[in-house]
Amino acid sequence: MLSSYLLHLSLLSLTLPPPGFNFDSACSTTVSKLSIENVTVFATQSVPAGTNITFPDSDPSCQPAGSSQFVPEDTCRITMFVSTSNRSGIHMETWLPRAWTGRFLSTGNGGLAGCIQYADMAYGSALGFATVGANNGHNGTSGAPFLNNPDIVADFAFRSIHTNVVVGKEVTQTFFGTPHTKSYYLGCSTGGRQGLKSVQDFPEDFDGVVAGAAAADWNHLMAWSGNFFLITGPQNAPTFIPINDWIGFIHQDILNQCDTIDGVQDGIIEDPDLCNYDPSDLICGSGSNCITATQAETISEVFSPFFINGELAFPRYQPGAESITSVLLIGGSMFTFTADWFRFVVFNDPSFDVNTLNASSWALAQDLDPFNISTFKADISDFKNRNGKLITYHGQADPLIAPVNSERYYNLVSDAMQLSSSELDEFYRFFRISGMGHCAGGVGAWEIGQTLDGSADDVSSGSATLDPDRNVLMAVVRWVEEGVAPDTLLGTKFVNDAPTQGVHFSRRHCRFPLRTTFDGGDNTLPDSWSCQ
């Protein structure tokens, strides 16, 4: 169990509450002690280690009926509502562990962000963090609540995470009778964007931030995502390619051309930037396992950068991502999040026909940029000057957000702050995770401690590695608290992605701009690879 690890954790001596503190008593009495402006506390719940909790009041699109969350360690769960205006507010929770380390952690959201990430809440509290999470100002995965309510858009763009942190820190101090020692953030996708937003606009909120596959440059991302429908057309169009063809013979042809660029034939394109795929050999006109010339053009467009009115707007979809591709982007219909964003925010019209979206629509969204949701501010000097530490990562087979976008942001910061890579290394490190899909999963060594499911141990029993070389969250903790920055992240690929079945292979993922390079030997061993 994690508690056995926590007792031996050397990164920080446990910051125990004051003498006489009683965890169980605090859990039952904290409600009466809390008096925070605009905050309504609903309930506290003592959750024993090993409990599976359910969420009957959650939106079904967030927590399907019958779903539950395993809680590995003794936790006090506090639920509350925070009013952010006279027509908006956030539902948030604070999970306070019995084995508190003195650390504070905020989790993020995903997609259009109306769901508390309970797996991340359980993960953070199990690792000894006082952990908070919120619904980002609305319930469910739809963007419909944005309609005619800029305050809910503001919560989504920036306000929810910051409010969640301010309130959560006060709740933590009231509960334990002492303030936190260090503050951290962990999120991916929309959660990655939220992490960058905190770094850019609220640098005092966190000492260390882990932001994965960040949905940064949001407006262009929504346009890029929607543009795939303009490329593929509907399922009856001559330009459309069935998903089974993408994940079948097209993917195999891409591997035939690009898998061995890294020196190993293992089904992983280590650096897709080096893959310039040509689909022309698949053209046959008719028959199985072949495509038309029109479909070949579709493939080439899918793997091309996205331009709006002649200007680069978003990098290309990477070859290799099609192996775990999602019908969300190239399934023959408009991407759901793009449709909702343009209906309920950009045009503020639920009846708007998203099939008519075009370059003018994309440009309008960027011009509007409500509450600077683009989240592409390059000068993060304030965060650096507070001695903050930022780790970003991106799966190189991400089928939902082009991984080159994270490279792009890194280079943007470098240019804006006029810092070399070695100078950026002092506070900002970016890791490319080969073969990882969107935030998790994939054919690569994707388990880097980024989630409860990606914690590189038997999560069903509640155990997760605290080794900062294998756990990106603990890596940023070590960097903040000991000054030891991660040069690599050691990823693990389990057999069938099941820790109980043993390790399939491991690989050290290098910090950008270094490339993970095969040196020879057994490619399943991390020592067979180096950073060059």
DSSP character string of 221-235: HHHHHHHHHHHH-ST
Are 230 and 249 in the same domain? Answer: yes
pLDDT tens digits, 349-389 = 999 999 999 999 999 999 999 999 999 999 999 999 999 99
Q: Is the dihedral of CA 497, 498, 499, 502 positive or negative?
A: negative
pLDDT of 320 strictly over 70: yes
| End residue of a domain, out of 334, 353, 371 | 371
367 and 378 in one domain?
Answer: no
Model pLDDT for residues 29-52, shown as the tens digit of each residue: 998 899 999 999 999 999 999 999
Domain final residue, candidates 371, 401, 427:
371
Q: Is the pLDDT of residue 3 over 50?
A: no
Whether residue 461 has pLDDT greater than 70: no
Q: What is the CATH number of the domain that holds 441?
A: 3.40.50.1820
Do residues 96 and 169 both lie within one domain? yes
Do 366 and 415 lie in a common domain? no
As given in the structure block, the two tokens for residue 31 are 């409600």
> Which of the four pLDDT bands, split at 50, 70 and 90, describes residue 4?
very low
Q: Please tell me whether residues 336 and 415 are part of one structural domain.
A: no
- Both 42 and 138 in one domain: the answer is yes
pLDDT digits (tens, 9 = 90+) for 181-206: 999 999 999 999 999 999 999 999 99
* Shared domain check, 358 and 256: yes
pLDDT of residue 12: 45
Euclidean distance between CA atoms 227 and 126, whole angstroms: 41
Residues 6+ apart with CB under 8 A from 144: 340, 344, 350
User: Is 114 in contact with 136 (CB distance < 8 Å)?
Assistant: yes
Q: How far apart are CA 140 and CA 109, in angstroms?
A: 11
pLDDT (0 to 100) of residue 460: 42
Q: What is the pLDDT of residue 19?
A: 83
Q: Is residue 420 located within the same domain as residue 434?
A: yes
The domain in which residue 271 lies consists of 220-371
Same domain, yes or no: 489 and 513: yes
CA distance 301 to 232: 9
- Which pLDDT score is estimated for 462? 43
Residue 532 CA: distances (Å) to CA of 112, 237, 300, 487: 38, 45, 30, 12
The answer to whether residues 205 and 315 belong to one domain is no
Q: What is the pLDDT of residues 109-162, one digit of tens each?
A: 999 979 999 999 999 999 999 999 999 999 999 999 999 999 999 999 999 999
- Mark which of 351, 371, 391 sits at the end of a domain: 371
52 and 196, same domain (yes or no):
yes
CA dist 457 → 461, 466, 467 (Å): 9, 10, 11
Which positions are annotated as active-site residues? 189, 398, 438
Q: What share of the chain is helix, strand, coil (3-state, %, to 5)?
A: 40, 20, 40
CB 454 within 8 Å of CB 498: no
Average confidence score pLDDT of the chain: 93
Long-range contacts (CB closer than 8 Å, 24 or more residues apart) made by 20-25: 21/176, 21/177, 23/74, 23/76, 23/98
Q: pTM here?
A: 0.95
Q: Is the pLDDT at 428 greater than 80, yes or no?
A: yes
Q: Are residues 327 and 206 in the same domain?
A: no
Domain count across the chain: 2
- Residue 286 confidence (pLDDT) above 70: no
Residue with tokens 């809390």: 34
